[in-house]
Amino acid sequence: MIKNNKYLILRRVIQLTILFLFVGGSHFGWNILMGNYSSALVLDSFVLSDPYAVLQMLFTGYIPVIDVIIGAVIVLLFYAILGGRIFCSWVCPLNIITDFASFTRKKLNIKPLIKTNKSSRKVRYYVMGLGLVLSTIFGIAAFEIINPISMLYRGVIFAFGFGLGAVIIIFLFDLLILDYGWCGNVCPVGAFYSITGKLRILKVHHEKDNCTLCMKCKVVCPEIHVLEIIGKSTGKIKSSECTDCARCIDVCDDNALKFKFLK
Amino acid sequence: MSEEEKNTTSRRDAIRTMFQGAGYVALGGLMWGGYLEESKGAELALRPPGAISEDKFIKACIKCGVCVEVCPYDTLKLATPAEDLVVGTPYFKPRDIPCYMCTDIPCVPVCPTGALDIKSLSIIKEEKSILDINKSKMGLAVVNKETCIAFWGVQCDACYRACPLMDEAISIEYEKNERTGKHAFLKPVVHADVCTGCGLCEHACVTDVPAIKTLPIAIAMGEVGAHYIKGWDKDDEQRLNNSEDVEDNGDSESAIDYLNDADDLFND
């Protein structure tokens, strides 16, 4: 049980620890992480910022002070070098909700209204671009206004309870309307990290010779198209739409999938 | 199907797909943009000390909420979707909790983007830059003389005494009460050049709904415009000398007569 959920448990621990540190910063005066996922003050000494949020800010025409730019560059380089969308599966709190939606959908065998396909998965890149264009036109960071991720964490960190509505919408959207709807099709933050994570060093490696073609990995994968090499060739998962969530590694009983750094 | 037909269908398909895509983007963009315009809010918020002008502030604020977290009095709040404000931006309601004017201004240095501008609150003293909360311009207190009981002749100086810049931002004006013949009105007067907009007066006001309200400066102050000049003020008079010549159309008759010429009014 634990063996087959090793990475899942690790991811949840990391996600919830970060969220907990933010809550502590807001309610108990801890200074480890203050603020939220848009921008955080770490140990009272330096800033880490969401690069897509800062990019929208720049597109509105506002030139911020250097702190937030440095913070965004640090975060951008971290994810670009290490693992692109590891933000999505190891840090983003909304991932817990959308994972739960796909878990529920599979358990209850719910057929979504629209089936995720190759072109629907492209929508997120348009949302990302549109977010920047609209930021310029309307003079306000466009995605940050409707961002359900921030509604979730503001709800938890600052105890609104109001972000709950947005979270339920995303949950039901993923459950009933479009499978893997938010993270796999719409979210521009994931799209941003997909683009910037092309050269990442942490990738899932597939060993064809060990593979028994049980296809358990394809059942659990939220970005199923990235697993095209399963059973066909030995090598790494190339697509940067892979979130490195490692669910495939967890469920593989044949030692055919594992994480590999660099080569 | 011949080779040529195949090409035209695929070209047609490509063009159709392109237009379809453009349609989706336009649909999404217009809906999203409409919501953005709506969500900018009513600009009635009081922002933390040192906040840059509202139109810039909503661009600059990254909505991290660190200023809210470090506020020792829980004055600052982050706007929820229920407020008529850009969601996630900091604001305060002085009637609930005013700004207590911390001398170390914890909320400002932590701002990562410069939406709260520390320079606007700094003064140079003995060649060292120090913080001065009294330079802040969060808003401006406005007294309503109908609901302020001091204007009725009742002695109340709650706002005057609550003001951290007593006698500078709010002073008391004495005036004889002709109704009784032997009492005085002690009327609070706000001085816009000093008032910081902290809202301590609004918080202290004794009426059910405060008769002294702290409003954003842009709303409370008004603006004269360029064409009125204080002729008795040398500096202001200079504007007249600096102004460019306005082309005279030479028709002084109509300028003089336009009020007498009422024909247009009755034509409709």
pLDDT of residue B263: 65
Asked if A4 is an interface residue toward chain B (Cβ–Cβ < 8 A), one would say no
> What pLDDT, on the 0 to 100 scale, is given for residue B2?
58
Q: What is the pLDDT of residues A119-130, one digit of tens each?
A: 788 888 988 998
Q: Is A57 on the interface with B (CB under 8 A)?
A: yes
Question: Candidates 3.30.750, 3.40.140, 3.30.70, 2.60.40; correct CATH number of A203-261?
Answer: 3.30.70
Whether residue A262 has pLDDT greater than 80: no
Question: What are the distances in angstroms from CA A181 to CA A133, A172, B154?
Answer: 23, 10, 64
Chain B residues in contact with A138 (beta carbon < 8 A): 33, 36-37, 40
Per-residue model confidence (pLDDT) at position B265: 63
For the residues B23-33, what does the mean pLDDT come to?
Answer: 88
For residue B79, pLDDT over 60 is answered with: yes
User: What token pair was written down for A18?
Assistant: 């970060």
The complex scores an ipTM of: 0.84
Q: Which amino acid is at A252?
A: C
- List the one residue out of B204, B56, B46 whose CA is nearest residue B140: B46
Query: Rounded CA gap, A153 and A26, in Å?
Result: 11
> Which pLDDT value is given to residue B268?
53
Evaluate the CA torsion angle B204, B208, B212, B217 in order and state its sign: positive
State mean pLDDT over B174-179.
90
Q: B16 CB near a chain A CB, below 8 Å?
A: no
DSSP state of B103: T
- Read off the DSSP letter of residue A253: S
φ, ψ for residue B35 (rounded to 5)? -65, -35
pLDDT of res. B116: 92
pLDDT in tens, A89-143: 999 888 988 989 888 888 888 888 888 887 788 888 988 998 999 888 888 888 8
Crossing angle of helices A94-107 and A164-172, rounded to 10°? 40
A136 touches chain B (CB under 8 A): no
Q: What pLDDT is attached to residue B262? A: 65
Q: How far apart are CA A9 and CA A246, in angstroms?
A: 11
Contacts of A168 (CB under 8 A, 6+ apart): none
* 3 state SS for B24-47: HHHHHHHHHHHHHHHHCCCCCCEC
- Report the candidate in A231, A227, A224, A228 with the shortest Cα–Cα distance to residue A208: A231
Mean pLDDT, residues B23-41 taken together: 85
**Residue count (chain B):** 268
Whether the CB of B87 is below 8 Å from some CB of chain A: the reply is yes
For the beta sheet containing A235-236, the strands, ordered from the edge strand earlier in sequence to the opposite edge, are A235-236, A202-206, A257-261
Average per-residue pLDDT for chain A: 85
Rounded to an integer, what distance in angstroms lies between the CA atom of residue B77 and that of residue B57? Answer: 16
Residues 183-242 (B) with a CB less than 8 A from some CB of A: none
**For B85-143, how does the pLDDT look when each residue is reduced to its tens digit (9 = 90+)?**
888 889 999 999 999 999 899 999 999 998 999 888 888 888 888 888 988 999 999 99
- Residue A147 is predicted with a pLDDT of 84
Percent residues over pLDDT 70 in chain B: 90
Q: What is the value of pTM for the model shown?
A: 0.81
- The 10s digit of each residue's pLDDT in B181-195 is 889 999 999 999 999
> Residue A131: which residues within 8 A CB-CB, separation 6 or more?
A52, A56, A142, A143, A188
- Tell me the residue type at A136: T
Among A28, A138, A156, the strongest candidate for a mutation testing the B interface, having the largest count of B CBs within 10 A, is A138
Domain ranges of chain A: 46-196, 203-261
Q: In this structure, what token pair is assigned to residue B72?
A: 């020792």
CA pair distance B188, B161, nearest whole angstrom = 10
**Is residue A65 scored above 70 in pLDDT?**
yes
For residues B62 and A54, the answer to whether their CB atoms sit within 8 Å is yes
Domains and CATH numbers, chain B: 54-134 (no CATH), 140-219 (3.30.70.20)
Q: Find, among A36, A110, A62, A80, the residue nearest to A202 by Cα.
A: A80
